[in-house]
Structure 1
Amino acid sequence: MAQSDDSDDGMDAFMDKFRTQKYKNAFNESNWEEEFDKVPMFMKTAPKEIDPLKNPDLACIQSIIHDDDRPPEEQAKSLKDEGNEYFKEKDYKKAIVTYTAGLKKNCSDSDLNAILYTNRAAAHFYLGNMRSALNDATAAKKLKPDHIKAIIRGAQCWMELRNYADALQWCDEGLRILPTDKKLQELRATADKQKRAAERDSRKAKAKEKKERSERDALLATIKERGIRLLKPEQRRRRCSDSEDDDDGAEGSTAAMAELHLDGLSTQEATGAQVYLDEQGILHWPVLFLYPEYRQTDFISAFRENSSFIDHLAVMFGEELPPWDTDRKYHPQNLQLFFEDHEKGHLYEVDLAKSLLSVLQHSRCSVKEGTPSFIVLVKESPFCKQFLSDKKVHRLK
């Protein structure tokens, strides 16, 4: 509040001064028209000759009004200088607009136009507009083939675009003009190194792809030789839409757990595990166990095809039972295992002593999304009876 009071006091003193002392340069009734005519914005007619030193305001306004009367070369040069100031301030967007305005003057000085293109290329470069920068560098080089700055900028753009062959070509072209240019020499060395590295990486990637394709073909051939049916994604979607069975949430759990692909077949579980063939020619499958009573699942990332189900269940439900089994009833000797016929919706009970391979080779068994899945129930339990009551159940022979 004190500051406000001081300001008020100062204004009062200023106004008091006007009451006691007349303003020396004030207009009066006799000279106000003459004085207004001296102000550039209110002049009725401008003087024929203007001295910039005596009337700089009028000279500036006249320069703006009559700018188009200057030769295009002068206008373009002024815009180039203005753009350079923006560039120094790192205001690259305004620099681009100003250089563009200079180019639109269509002056006949090809060297000046080449500089405008090169400078605009630099502004685009620092904004990350590599294609626009390259186009401007190319235009500058076309106007002035020996313009080293344009060649350097073009080579830098090709480097940023990871086209090292063209970067080398531009560097070589510049070095033929100026063999001692350090910047071009450094650029060329870097481009050559990056080109060699890119070619090496490309060879490695192709070799890796070839190896993976060979392994994938061998894997699919082995699966086919075993007589194991892989359910394609489109088959799965069609059959699921035709099915009326809900399986108490088991299907949704399976779909949420596994989403992978192998030659158009879904084969890799979301954890990264997928079926593979070891050096002994044995298949290892990712296997999903579903416990619909508790809406729980177990995932085995590598189930050897020649291992039995009881081998795994004995480990999974050995001395320590899962925490969700509050009634402590999931003991291996109490369990029943089923797989679903995805075409008909029937369940097939699996002998726990059987191997995974023998079950997968059954005519009604198919692997969905690359992951065999099995339903686990407690034998003769109320939930088991209710769950199986509305399903057709077969026992494997």
Structure 2
Amino acid sequence: ASPPPTPVNASTALPPGIADIKSQSTADFLTSMSRMPLFGSSLSELDPDQLSAFTALAYEGTPSEIASNFKQQGNGAYKLKSHRDAAAFYTKALTVPDLPPDDPIREVCLANRAAANLELKNYGSVLRDCGEALKLNSSNVKAHYRAACALVALQRWEEAVILTQKGLTLDPTNPPLKSLLTKAEAGLAKAEEKLLAEQHLQQQKLQEATALRLALRNLGIKTRRSDTTNRPDLEGHEIKLVDETHLVFPVIVLYPLTAQSDFISTWREDETAEERMGMQVLAEPPPWDEKGEYNWKSVEVFMETLTGGLIKVGKKVPLGEVLGGGKVEVVDDLVKLMVVPRGRREAWIEEWKKR
């Protein structure tokens, strides 16, 4: 009878190199393989000596064979989602010296590099490569699809629709193209709707501005814009024509002797200082008026004139009449009124003249 087999320890029976590999995890094994020139999918994983050897090896053969090798490397990197490396390999394939201009691999590598750049969101590169691929073969469905994907990402909806439609004439049942066309058409419809809404709004604003200018002209009210308009606290407040019947003005009431102010956002043209200030703003002494000087009956209201002087505003005169009297103007859509106590009026006017 044959003697029983002698037990063998597997780890000691294998050659050292193979035993080391056997003891590695799958992840460690793949990582070590990626550093080997024949199996590597990432140029960045190679050390200088390996890279030099790999370069010499990679450029052996005919230009078409060399380009094909780089293309395969790119495909491998793409499958591993190493899109930047994939694009680099496709670029090497496309730049192989003496590769014939009409070599079919050019079209393939251009379309493939577009796929890699699409993942990297390099949409300009995608469009350029797809354009070159389509020059070589206008029936390349993948180039149509990838270029259309880039156009959708850039929200160039109309071009995306045209390109997907061209792709579907080549492959009418292509599911990705059909899905992309639906997305592009929806984006185009939404963009057109938004454009129409913006145009309508612009037209409405133009009509309102025209009506406002006409209303101001009819009342003889002068307005102008200063060289530098900076009213951060008053943004959104401007002269308006309400219901096409009456003007409203934002008004700032200044108390120059106290450095205080009040803001009235809407003062109708037919309202008087008595109505807006005497019955509202100064109906009671303001909290900062410690001396009780700003009783409505004991104050006077002024505006600066076109020539830099002062004009007294009648308390019972509608604002529209004051502004339309030809002596004042509204600067930057803001009416400025100045209120001073009657007893200090003369001294304040003298100071004003010295300015």
Query: 1:124/1:66 Cα in 2 relative to 1: closer, same or farther (>3 Å)?
Result: closer
Of 290, 293, 307, the match for 1:326: 290
Of 186, 189, 192, the match for 2:185: 192
8 Å CA contact 1:118–1:149 kept in 2: the answer is yes
Mapping of residues 302-313 of structure 1, within 5 Å: 302-313=266-277
Alpha-carbon distance in structure 2 between the residues aligned to 1:91 and 1:379? 83
Map of 1:30 onto structure 2: none
Residue 59 of structure 1 deviates from its aligned partner by 11
Alpha-carbon distance in structure 1 between the residues aligned to 2:51 and 2:89? 20
Alpha-carbon distance in structure 2 between the residues aligned to 1:323 and 1:88? 75
Residue 389 of structure 1 deviates from its aligned partner by 1.8
User: Is 1:285 paired with 2:246?
Assistant: no
The runs of 5 or more residues in structure 2 that have no matched partner are 1-37, 39-48
SS at match of 1:374: strand
Mapping of residues 140-219 of structure 1, within 5 Å: 140-219=133-212
User: Is 1:380 paired with 2:343?
Assistant: yes
8 Å CA contact 2:94–2:109 kept in 1: the answer is yes
Residue 192 of structure 1 deviates from its aligned partner by 1.9
Alpha-carbon distance in structure 2 between the residues aligned to 1:295 and 1:358? 28
Map of 2:350 onto structure 1: 389
Residue 280 of structure 1 deviates from its aligned partner by 5.4
Alpha-carbon distance in structure 1 between the residues aligned to 2:247 and 2:50? 90
Mapping of residues 209-358 of structure 1, within 5 Å: 209-234=202-227, 256-257=230-231, 270-279=234-243, 281-314=245-278, 315-319=280-284, 321-342=285-306, 344-358=307-321
SS at match of 1:286: strand
Computed over aligned residues only, the root mean square deviation of the Cα atoms, in angstroms, reads 2.7
Residue 228 of structure 1 deviates from its aligned partner by 0.7
Residue 88 of structure 1 deviates from its aligned partner by 4.3
Query: 1:73/1:327 Cα in 2 relative to 1: closer, same or farther (>3 Å)?
Result: farther
8 Å CA contact 2:64–2:103 kept in 1: the answer is no
Map of 1:76 onto structure 2: 67
TM-score (norm 1): 0.69
SS at match of 1:353: coil
4+ residue runs of structure 1 moved beyond 4 angstroms? 58-63, 88-91
8 Å CA contact 1:92–1:126 kept in 2: the answer is yes
Please, which moves more after superposition, 278-287 or 191-200?
191-200
Deviations 1:174-224 (A, max 9, x none): 112111111111111222222222222222222222122111111111111
Map of 1:8 onto structure 2: none
Map of 1:49 onto structure 2: none
8 Å CA contact 2:110–2:133 kept in 1: the answer is yes
Residue 256 of structure 1 deviates from its aligned partner by 4.6
SS at match of 1:274: coil
User: Is 1:125 paired with 2:118?
Assistant: yes
Q: Which amino acid aligns with 1:215?
A: E
Q: Which amino acid aligns with 2:247?
A: L
Q: Which has the larger radius of gyration?
A: 1
Alpha-carbon distance in structure 1 between the residues aligned to 2:51 and 2:203? 72
Q: Which amino acid aligns with 1:391?
A: W
How many residue pairs align between the two structures? 304
Alpha-carbon distance in structure 1 between the residues aligned to 2:195 and 2:118? 27
Percent identical pairs in the alignment equals 26
Q: Which amino acid aligns with 2:348?
A: F
Residue 330 of structure 1 deviates from its aligned partner by 2.1
TM-score (norm 2): 0.77
Query: 1:376/1:79 Cα in 2 relative to 1: closer, same or farther (>3 Å)?
Result: farther
Q: Which amino acid aligns with 1:369?
A: D
Alpha-carbon distance in structure 1 between the residues aligned to 2:238 and 2:336? 13
Q: Which amino acid aligns with 1:293?
A: L
Alpha-carbon distance in structure 2 between the residues aligned to 1:162 and 1:390? 62
Alpha-carbon distance in structure 2 between the residues aligned to 1:61 and 1:367? 78
Map of 1:22 onto structure 2: none
Alpha-carbon distance in structure 2 between the residues aligned to 1:195 and 1:296? 54
Map of 1:115 onto structure 2: 108
Query: 1:74/1:326 Cα in 2 relative to 1: closer, same or farther (>3 Å)?
Result: farther
Deviations 1:70-127 (A, max 9, x none): 2222222232333344444544444333322221116336432222212222233233
Residue 152 of structure 1 deviates from its aligned partner by 0.7
Query: 1:193/1:60 Cα in 2 relative to 1: closer, same or farther (>3 Å)?
Result: closer
Query: 1:377/1:78 Cα in 2 relative to 1: closer, same or farther (>3 Å)?
Result: farther
Alpha-carbon distance in structure 2 between the residues aligned to 1:299 and 1:60? 74
Please, which moves more after superposition, 110-119 or 153-162?
110-119
Query: 1:219/1:81 Cα in 2 relative to 1: closer, same or farther (>3 Å)?
Result: same
Map of 2:5 onto structure 1: none
